[in-house]
Amino acid sequence: MACHLLLVAGFAVSLAGATDHIVGANHGWNPNIDYYLWSGNQTFYVGDLISFRYQKGTHNVFEVNQTGYDNCTMAGVAGNWTSGKDFIPLNDSRRYYFICGNGFCQAGMKVAITVHPLKHNATGDGAKNHGGDGAAQEAAAAAMPGAAVWMAVLAVAAAAVAILP
């Protein structure tokens, strides 16, 4: 019972903790936008998503390495996405480089990001919110003796009622 509650709490925390970073915010993935400014205002953590919104067929997304990013080439290509609404999980703590693969990289469709490791890693629970799973566990732990105390209080109260004339 208690174990189930803890599992549910941990699951909810990790879902709530993942941030979806929408490239370009409401400008989306398009030419002539300064994605350097955009990425400078984001903090990426392992487990977050980066998502690209664009006209399907007109643009796309390629992950390349730094050479590819700097020079708008396919150097070090590691993946490509073409759906027009691509959610890409950031699995590792490292630099990621994304470019548009159909010529628009030269028009600024390139973004480089640094993904940071999770801050709270002591128990390897993946929680990055302050408190996170730890708080839930403490609350659950605190609830156990609390319940016992209430049972005792109720028992005393019942006994008191029973011995009343």
Judged by CB under 6 A, does residue 43 bind ligand NAG?
A: no
Rounded Cα distance between 29 and 107, Å, is: 11
The contact pattern for ligand NAG, residues 92-121, with x = CB under 6 A and - = no contact, is -------------------------x---x
Rounded Cα distance between 77 and 121, Å, is: 31
Q: Where are the beta strands (DSSP E) in the chain?
A: 20-22, 44-45, 49-53, 61-64, 79-81, 85-89, 95-99, 110-116
CB of 31 to ligand NAG, least distance (A): 19
- For ligand NAG, the closer of residues 115 and 136 by Cβ is 115
Which member of 83, 91, 102, 114 binds ligand NAG (CB under 6 A)? 91
CB of 159 to ligand NAG, least distance (A): 50
CA 65 vs CA 4, 17, 77, 78, 83: distances in Å: 43, 28, 7, 8, 22
* Residues binding ligand NAG (CB under 6 A): 37, 40-41, 63, 65-67, 70-71, 75-77, 79-80, 88-89, 91, 117, 121, 124
